[in-house]
Amino acid sequence: MKLSKNFSLKELTTSQTAERKGINNNPNEDQITGLQNLCENILQPIRDHYAKPVTVSSGFRSPNLCVAIGSSVNSQHAKGQAADFEIFGIPNAELAKWIVENLGPDVPLHFSAFHPDWKMRDIEYTPHSTLNRSREIALGNGIRNVYLGNVHDKSRSSTYCHKCGELLIGRDWYELSEWHLDTSGCCVSCGTACTGFLEKSPGTWGAKRLPVSL
């Protein structure tokens, strides 16, 4: 099944971990709609512009897969709204600039650290300083919400109001702390809307162990 001109459902749902552990990673109809929107509005325009393969390393993640890889079951990946990708040879700065100019400053961008695991133990961890530098470049190019992943760095993993700078959602890995949004998802200090699919209240987030049914 095609999600857009150059992206297939298989590309957005394939997971080595799911295959290795026999986890069902098939999305439902709503999640497929999320993936179609993601491909049509974000990935396909990037693919068309650079005319190079956009390699998706992780797209949809079923709740069981989220648990298996230590990710939150509330992750946007679990709703078909996020993908990890790389375009070989395109610097982060250039991609960030293009996203702002063509897709808008509200597209959130995450820089996640690689960690050596299973069959790729010969590759080093991404240095924290590299993530910091990538984030600074993206912010400098106008992207409003830029986050670090797979590292403990609360100040660089939290959400801030792009208008007044107020900390809106405090975040350290999967732990949420502060929540300074009103029930309509706006900054409590200045009323500016925070872009995203936001719940009315924080919910019961945080790192926890859950059983995986295989």
By the criterion CB under 5 A, which residues form the site for Zn ion?
A: 161, 163-164, 166, 187, 189-190, 192
CB of 185 to Zn ion, least distance (A): 12
* Gap between the Cα atoms of 153 and 183, Å rounded: 27
Give 98 or 179: the residue with its C-beta nearer to Zn ion: 179
CB of 169 to Zn ion, least distance (A): 12
SS3 state at 178: strand
CB of 189 to Zn ion, least distance (A): 5
Rounded to whole angstroms, what are the CA distances from 56 to 52, 86, 195, 201?
12, 7, 24, 31
Nearer to Zn ion among residue 190 and residue 210 (C-beta) = 190
Q: Does residue 59 contact residue 96 with C-beta atoms inside 8 Å?
A: no
Whose Cβ is closer to Zn ion: residue 133's or residue 163's? 163
Closer Cβ to Zn ion, 154 or 163, answer by number:
163
Structure-token match 């990890």, residue found: 84
Smaller CB separation from Zn ion, 13 or 145? 145
Q: How far is the CB of 56 from Zn ion (least distance, A)?
A: 33
In angstroms, what is the minimal distance from the CB of 193 to Zn ion?
10
CA angle 116, 119, 121 (to 5 degrees): 30
Pairing of strands 2-4, 109-112: unpaired
d(CA 101, CA 126): 28
What lies within 8 Å, CB to CB, of 129 at 6+ separation is: none
